[in-house]
């Protein structure tokens, strides 16, 4: 039996079977470069750490349920110079997630709110945070269905436990039935426990009427705005730009705008 064959059951027992992927390469390198045993072991284990980190990142990105790959680097800030680039770059450090602060992205349709929200989410995933992206309509629909089959508490955990929850297109339609209460509960349970990014075509001042009750709206907005970065995104739409900007909008970046 070869020495590698002897290692296989031990590596599996230690849950290090991934080491086998680079063992032969690193062994050859150790011989060719006359590496010390400690250096050989360091490189071999570094490969395993990188593999595990990549696997965990892939899992976080998959569980985040993004619509696609979005990045700050791909966003065309020159298209709409009024978009506060400095503030967005600062948010991209993800320090706001560490501090459990909120981000409210408001502005007309098509200026890139969804792109920025998801790009920040991608950054958070790469920083090791658990992220979930969902449209406001889908989130409230899921909660309504859970309320009907008595699984509301379990479903609520899906939206209250992530380090960063991204809710897209809040206020696109009026909230009905128990939706204002469900939205309030998510805001209440996440307050100072996790970060939330909300995007909306409505100005923040227009959000209270969505709750249909002054006291409920006051309690929700007070918590939401306490630790919040309000980013107003003004400018032309990527989807239907004026003629002078049409060529720039056609560079492919506009596909991710929201």
pLDDT tens digits, 106-145? 998 888 999 999 999 999 999 999 999 999 999 999 999 9
Tokens of 152: 């509301």
Burial of 88 (0-12, 13-18, 19+ CB in 10 A): buried
pLDDT at 3 over 80: no
Q: Which two tokens stand for residue 249?
A: 């909008």
Enumerate domains of the chain plus CATH numbers. Answer: 3-63 (no CATH), 65-256 (3.40.50.300)
pLDDT at 254 over 50: no
Average pLDDT over residues 205-222: 95
Q: Report pLDDT for 247.
A: 59
Q: Is the dihedral of CA 192, 198, 203, 208 positive or negative?
A: negative
C-beta neighbour count of 47 within 10 angstroms? 17
Give pLDDT, residue 256. Answer: 44
* % of residues, the chain, pLDDT over 70: 90
Instruction: Give the residue among 87, 55, 197, 63 at the shortest CA–CA distance from 136.
Output: 197
């Amino acid at each position: 039996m070869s020495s590698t064959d002897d290692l296989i059951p031990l590596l599996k027992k230690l849950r290090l079977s991934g080491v086998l992927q680079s063992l032969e390469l690193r062994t050859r390198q150790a011989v060719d470069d006359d590496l010390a045993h400690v250096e050989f072991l360091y490189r071999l284990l570094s490969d395993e750490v990188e593999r595990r980190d990549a696997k965990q990142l892939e899992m976080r990105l998959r569980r985040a349920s993004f619509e696609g790959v979005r990045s700050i680097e791909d966003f065309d800030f020159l298209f709409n110079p009024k978009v506060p680039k400095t503030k967005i770059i600062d948010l991209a450090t993800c320090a706001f997630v560490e501090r459990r602060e909120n981000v409210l992205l408001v502005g007309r349709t098509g200026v890139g709110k969804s792109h920025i929200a998801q790009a920040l989410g991608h950054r958070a995933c790469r920083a090791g945070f658990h992220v979930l992206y969902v449209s406001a309509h889908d989130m409230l629909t899921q909660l309504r269905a859970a309320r009907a089959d008595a699984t509301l508490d379990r479903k609520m955990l899906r939206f209250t436990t992530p380090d960063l929850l991204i809710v897209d297109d809040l206020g696109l339609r009026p909230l009905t039935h128990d939706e204002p209460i469900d939205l309030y509960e998510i805001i209440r349970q996440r307050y100072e426990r996790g970060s939330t990014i909300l995007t909306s075509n409505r100005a923040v001042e227009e959000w209270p009427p969505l709750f249909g009750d002054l006291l409920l709206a006051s309690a929700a907005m007070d918590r939401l705005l306490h630790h919040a970065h309000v980013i107003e995104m003004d400018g032309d739409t990527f989807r239907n730009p004026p003629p002078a900007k049409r060529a720039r909008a056609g560079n492919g970046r506009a596909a991710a705008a929201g």
